Copies of this chain bind each other. A is one copy, B any other.
């Protein structure tokens, strides 16, 4: 991998993910979107509970370490939605009514008005810039390099779409894969030699069990497409020599 990668960290906030009740769908989507649309590489993800101190500490640690931080979850109207207030504390600013967000909610709720719990969704850390929510209006927000998004996948995805031009990375990482019909340990020595030879490529080997037989997907990742094609061909030919019946593509 290039040293110049633009990096991101995702912080998934929610007891429901940690309890096993809800299976996260945002990590894989965000990782793919950031790479393909923005050339940004997801380098770490944390799943943390709805506990203020944990949110503050995690956000403050990660915003120093990574170019971009995204959080998902905890920005709804209920008592357990404490993300926005915690982020305000992380940045040492007040959590206050954001007039523009308030207008959006007043328009959304119409003549019924905005009750005090709904109004929580119009509060942001002082100085936050809103992130549009085309689905259900209650916005996310940005504080410096921290983007605070909804946890519901369809809303998170719409927010990301509205952000993509302001998230600036480098070249997207591309992949090539060769699937082998033999245990990865048979080709492990050759893969190590290839990794030593080609530093610009990240070579991963991912074993699988398929219909009772062991196999492996060898996945090559790099921003250099010509190099990827060359090394994928070498993996393929090596696998033929070793009797691995390779196929191009990730068919694991």
A23 at the A/B interface (Cβ < 8 Å)?
yes
A189 at the A/B interface (Cβ < 8 Å)?
yes
In the bound complex, do residue B203 and residue A79 qualify as a contact, i.e. CB atoms below 8 Å apart? yes
In the bound complex, do residue B21 and residue A189 qualify as a contact, i.e. CB atoms below 8 Å apart? no
Instruction: Report the nearest B residue to A188, measured CB to CB.
Output: B117
Instruction: Report the nearest B residue to A216, measured CB to CB.
Output: B78
In the complex where A79-B195, A118-B185 touch, is A27 in contact with B20 (Cβ < 8 A)? yes
Give how many copies assemble into the complex: 2
A226 at the A/B interface (Cβ < 8 Å)?
no
Cβ-defined partner of A115 (8 Å) among B28, B49, B116, B185: B185
In the bound complex, do residue B23 and residue A28 qualify as a contact, i.e. CB atoms below 8 Å apart? yes
A19 at the A/B interface (Cβ < 8 Å)?
yes
SS of A interface (majority): mixed
A71 at the A/B interface (Cβ < 8 Å)?
no
In the bound complex, do residue A77 and residue B188 qualify as a contact, i.e. CB atoms below 8 Å apart? yes
In the bound complex, do residue A45 and residue B47 qualify as a contact, i.e. CB atoms below 8 Å apart? yes
Cβ-defined partner of A221 (8 Å) among B15, B45, B202: B15
Cβ-defined partner of A202 (8 Å) among B15, B173, B185, B188: B15
A31 at the A/B interface (Cβ < 8 Å)?
yes
Question: How far is A20 from B17 in the complex, measured between Cα atoms in Å?
Answer: 18
In the bound complex, do residue A16 and residue B204 qualify as a contact, i.e. CB atoms below 8 Å apart? yes
A208 at the A/B interface (Cβ < 8 Å)?
yes
A144 at the A/B interface (Cβ < 8 Å)?
no
CB contacts (< 8 Å) of A164 on chain B: these are none
- Using a CB-CB cutoff of 8 Å, which residues 19-43 of chain A contact chain B? 19-24, 27-32, 35, 42-43
In the bound complex, do residue A76 and residue B46 qualify as a contact, i.e. CB atoms below 8 Å apart? no
In the bound complex, do residue A18 and residue B44 qualify as a contact, i.e. CB atoms below 8 Å apart? yes
In the bound complex, do residue A188 and residue B79 qualify as a contact, i.e. CB atoms below 8 Å apart? yes
Residues of A that sit less than 8 Å from B by CB: 15-24, 27-32, 35, 42-50, 54, 76-80, 115-118, 120, 136, 152, 154, 173, 175, 184-185, 188-189, 191-192, 195, 202-209, 214, 219, 221, 250
15 additional contacts (CB under 8 A) given A80-B203, A117-B192: A16-B206, A18-B31, A19-B32, A19-B175, A20-B28, A20-B42, A21-B175, A27-B47, A44-B47, A45-B47, A46-B47, A76-B184, A78-B184, A117-B185, A118-B188
4 closest Cβ pairs, A-B complex = A117-B188, A20-B31, A45-B47, A79-B192
